[in-house]
C-alpha cells in the first residue's frame, strides 16, 4: 500500500475519534477558522462530535435544484478546474496537462474481478468518447462534501479502481501527470433519462479521503485493499436531479463525462444544484 493511502487511513481514524466535548469544540472551531468555512446552511459548530462529522456535515435545509428537462446541475459545491470537449480521447486536468479519458473510465479494463458482459459495451463507449465533454469539479476542505445526481439518471454499473491518494489541489495537478488516472477512483456509468445517453460520473479519491461512500450500494468500499472490480446492476438505481449519491470524507474531485455543453469554465465557483450545462 502507498504511504499516502496509509496516511489517509490513519487520518480517517483520528478524524473519527470523539474527543471530550470541550476539546472537540476547540478542534471544530479551529478547523472552521483555518479553512474559512461558511456554516450558514449547516448546524452549529458545537453539535459535531468528531472532525469527520464536521467534514461530512449535511445541509440543514435542502437546496432548491435548478433542474430542467435537458440541463445538468452541479453535483457538488466546487471550484471548476477545467471543462471542455474530449479531443483524441484526452481531457485537461489543468492547463498544460491532460489525462486519457478511456483509462480514467476503465473502458480498457483488464483483469478486473466480477466483470459481466462488459466488453461489447466498452467498445461502443470508446468509439463515442470524442462526442463527449468533461468537467472537473474540485472540493476543497472547506466545501460541503456530499455529491449528488446531476440530472435524472439510472446508475447502470460501478467500477472501482485502486490507486494512490495524492492531493488533487493545484500544486499536485501541476506536478503529477494523469493524476486522476493514478489516484483511487469510483466510476459510475449512468443513463441520462431525458436523452437516453450514457454518461460517466467519477469520484476521485485524494489525500486524507479515508472513504468514499455511496448510498445506493454500501458494498463499494474505497481505500480498502479489495482490488479492482466492476459491478453491473441488473435493476438500475433511479435517481432524480439533486438526489444524494454519496459522501467524501474530506475534499476531493468529481469528474463528469457526458454528451453535454458545459457552460461553467475553469476557475468558476459553483454550488450544488445550480445549472452547469445543457445536454446535447
pLDDT in tens, 120-139: 345 455 557 888 999 999 99
Catalytic position from the list 148, 152, 158, 222: 148
Q: Is the pLDDT at 202 greater than 60, yes or no?
A: yes
Banded model confidence at residue 83, pLDDT cuts 50, 70, 90: very high
Comparing 42-46, 48-52, 251-255, 260-264, the range with the smallest average pLDDT is 251-255
**pLDDT tier for residue 96 given thresholds of 50, 70 and 90:** confident
- Percentage of the chain beyond pLDDT 70 is 84
The x, y and z cell numbers of residue 208, run together, are 486524507
Predicted confidence band at 218 (pLDDT cuts at 50, 70, 90)?
A: confident
Cα 247-189-112 angle, rounded to 5 deg: 95
Better-scored residue on pLDDT, 196 or 73: 73
The catalytically annotated residue of 67, 77, 146, 162 is: 77
Active site residue 148: yes
pLDDT greater than 50 at residue 109: no
Per-residue pLDDT for 111 more than 60? no
Whether 252 sits among the annotated catalytic residues: the reply is yes
Say how far apart CA 163 and CA 72 lie, in whole Å. 29
CB-based contact 72:246 (threshold 8 Å): no
* Active-site residue identified among 78, 162, 222, 252: 252
Amino acid at each position: 500500500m502507498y504511504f499516502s493511502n496509509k496516511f489517509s487511513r490513519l487520518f480517517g481514524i483520528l478524524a473519527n475519534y470523539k474527543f471530550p466535548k470541550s476539546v472537540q469544540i476547540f478542534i471544530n472551531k479551529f478547523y472552521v477558522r483555518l479553512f474559512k468555512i461558511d456554516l450558514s446552511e449547516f448546524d452549529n459548530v458545537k453539535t459535531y462530535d468528531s472532525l469527520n462529522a464536521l467534514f461530512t456535515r449535511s445541509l440543514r435545509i435542502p437546496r432548491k435544484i435548478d433542474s430542467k428537462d435537458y440541463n445538468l446541475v452541479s453535483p457538488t459545491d466546487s471550484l471548476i478546474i477545467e471543462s471542455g470537449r474530449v479531443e483524441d480521447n484526452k481531457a485537461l486536468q489543468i492547463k498544460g496537462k491532460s489525462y486519457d479519458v478511456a483509462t480514467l473510465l476503465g473502458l480498457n479494463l483488464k483483469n478486473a474481478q466480477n466483470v459481466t458482459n462488459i466488453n461489447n459495451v466498452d467498445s461502443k463507449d470508446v468509439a463515442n468518447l470524442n462526442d463527449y465533454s468533461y468537467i472537473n469539479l474540485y472540493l476543497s476542505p472547506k466545501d460541503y462534501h456530499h455529491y449528488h445526481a446531476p440530472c435524472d439518471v439510472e446508475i447502470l454499473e460501478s467500477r472501482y479502481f485502486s490507486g494512490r491518494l495524492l492531493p488533487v489541489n493545484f500544486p499536485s495537478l501541476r506536478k503529477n501527470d494523469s493524476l486522476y488516472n493514478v489516484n483511487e477512483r469510483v466510476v459510475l456509468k449512468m443513463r441520462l433519462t431525458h436523452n437516453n445517453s450514457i454518461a460517466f460520473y467519477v469520484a476521485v479519491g485524494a489525500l486524507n479521503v479515508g472513504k468514499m461512500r455511496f448510498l445506493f450500494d454500501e458494498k463499494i468500499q474505497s481505500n480498502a485493499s479489495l482490488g479492482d472490480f466492476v459491478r453491473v446492476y441488473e435493476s438500475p438505481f433511479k435517481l432524480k436531479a439533486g438526489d444524494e449519491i454519496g459522501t467524501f470524507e474530506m475534499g476531493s474531485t468529481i469528474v463528469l463525462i457526458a454528451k453535454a455543453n458545459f457552460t461553467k469554465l475553469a476557475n468558476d465557483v459553483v454550488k450544488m444544484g445550480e445549472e452547469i450545462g445543457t445536454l446535447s
